[in-house]
Each structure stands twice: as structure tokens, then as C-alpha cells.
Chains A and B, each alone.
Chain A
């Protein structure tokens, strides 16, 4: 694991890093998920993860995205995923069936053997943000690595908002 960062932001997370088209896969460990992977939603086809004599196993980006989302939401103190605007737009898109709310606030970049995860969180007021972020990071790494076999090289977290008790929607 490397390059884990977190930040507290009043606005939306910065745009995904630009990157070129997917490249043919090289030696599994030689490529970086951050350097040569793909952003979720960019391509529909899955990634090759494991080849064996009996066949290969592939895992789609959206699977990694949802596993990271489930893992983050399992952590006490996490109210939700996504920023204010993103959540509002995402809610509308979910209502009309254009997207799944489980992918809001989560962006993954997947290589053949590695993955990097960016999360935008809303945290419950009163919780320790560093502690919640560390718990989220640990759980995301445990779940993604345990479920997919990918090595998680980054979990970047933006705390975008706080949720207050009794208030339906923060911010």
C-alpha cells in the first residue's frame, strides 16, 4: 500500500486524472493501477485478473467500485458517499434508473493486479474524521483485497460534508 491521502473539502472532489486508452496488459506486477489503470465507467469490459489451466477469471470495474462502496458504508460514522451536488444528481439518476446509488462517491482505477480507490464521504457530526477515515481505509483495503484478490495501492478520501442528527440531508 502506498500514497494514502485524505482531505476535508467544502467542495467536490477534483476531476479524475486524464489518461489514455487502455493498454495491452504487460507483466502483472509491472503496472501501476494509478498509472495505467482505468477509471470506473470509462469502459464496459472487465479486467483480466487470474489465468489458470481451467480458465480465467475477470472482474468488472463496477464490482470493485461496489465492493469499495459497501466496505465504506460498513464503517460506523460514515453517513453516506458522494458530495452534495453529486448526491443530488446521483439521486435523480438513480430515480430514473440511470445509475446505481452504490457507485456514488466512489471512483476506482484498476490495473491487472492492482487497484486505487478514491472515496468522497459524508461523516456523522461528532465522529473523529481521522479515525473514521482510517477505519474506512482499512476496511476498503480488507474487503477489496479479500474479495477481488487485487492489491489496493491507494485509498484517497475526501470528506465532503457532515451529517447532523435530525437533519435529513446534510449541507
Chain B
């Protein structure tokens, strides 16, 4: 990456809020039970980081300097308890935020299950 590109990238992704959005979404969708983030009605559930649209995550600033996160996701069927999965998502996001040194600004994490998708036969076999 050239110095100019690095500078642009650094400038575009310098917001803790947008970085937190990316970290949270990547952490959640990396879980095997989570299929994808959902864009939402009229794109209401998207964030932008470094010029990239992140579907399924909304980050809202709080007065105390932290950021609350909403994750809107599709979950894979068969699934266990969604409440348990929501806690696992929160724990995963918290760990990922810690690795990104963003745990100091992480507020509450709301997990919204917007849809359920049947696993393909290959996924079940795998």
C-alpha cells in the first residue's frame, strides 16, 4: 500500500465508531450459526467504514463516549436457543473489540434475529 493509499485508508477508517461497526459485524458473521447481516428496510441497518457499506450493523454514540451496537442478522437453521446464541454473539463481539483495542468504547450489544435460513445439505453434512 502506498503512502497516499495508507493515508486515505487511515483517514476513512479513523473513526472508532465505524471501526467498531466493522469489528462487530465481522465477528458476528464469522460465527457458524450466523449467515449474514441484513440491510433492513430502506437500508436502515447499515454502517459505513472506509467507504464500504456494512450491512446489518448500526452503531450509535452514547453520552458517555461509548457506542451501542445493533446487529441485525439471519440465523442458520437448525439452531439452538436464540437467546443463548445472542449471548454468544455478544461475547464474541466483546472479544473482537478487545483485540481491536475498542473494548473501552463498546457499549451495549443488541442482537436482532431478522430471519432464519435452512442450512444446505452440504452444510449439514459438513
* A66: nearest chain-B partner, CB-CB: B116
Q: Give the shortest distance, in Å, between A100 (CB) and chain B (any CB).
A: 9
Whether B80 pairs with A62 at a CB distance below 8 angstroms is no
- Given A63-B75, A66-B77, A67-B77, is A58 in contact with B83 using a C-beta cutoff of 8 Å? no
As a 0/1 sequence over residues 37 to 58 of chain A, the CB contacts with chain B under 8 angstroms (1 = contact) are 0000000101001101111111
**Majority secondary structure, B binding face:** strand
* B106: nearest chain-A partner, CB-CB: A54
Number of A residues, CB within 8 Å of B: 23
Whether B116 pairs with A67 at a CB distance below 8 angstroms is yes
Whether B90 pairs with A63 at a CB distance below 8 angstroms is no
Number of B residues, CB within 8 Å of A: 25
Whether B115 pairs with A50 at a CB distance below 8 angstroms is no
A interface residue numbers (CB < 8 A to B): 44, 46, 49-50, 52-60, 62-63, 66-67, 70, 102, 146-149
Whether B115 pairs with A63 at a CB distance below 8 angstroms is yes
Within the assembled complex, what's the spacing in Å between the Cα atoms of A44 and B90? Answer: 24
Select one of B41, B78, B82, B111 contacting A55, CB under 8 A: B111
Given contact pairs A55-B68, A55-B108, A102-B118, enumerate 15 new A-B contacts (beta carbons under 8 Å): A46-B114, A49-B83, A50-B83, A54-B94, A54-B108, A54-B109, A57-B111, A58-B113, A60-B112, A63-B82, A63-B115, A70-B78, A148-B83, A149-B81, A149-B83
Q: Give the shortest distance, in Å, between A110 (CB) and chain B (any CB).
A: 12
Q: Give the shortest distance, in Å, between A137 (CB) and chain B (any CB).
A: 19
Question: Hey, which chain B residues are within 8 Å of A46, CB to CB?
Answer: 112-114
Select one of B78, B114, B118 contacting A63, CB under 8 A: B114
Within the assembled complex, what's the spacing in Å between the Cα atoms of A56 and B77? Answer: 21
Within the assembled complex, what's the spacing in Å between the Cα atoms of A53 and B87? Answer: 11
As a 0/1 sequence over residues 61 to 80 of chain B, the CB contacts with chain A under 8 angstroms (1 = contact) are 00000001100000101111
B92 proximal to A (CB < 8 A): no
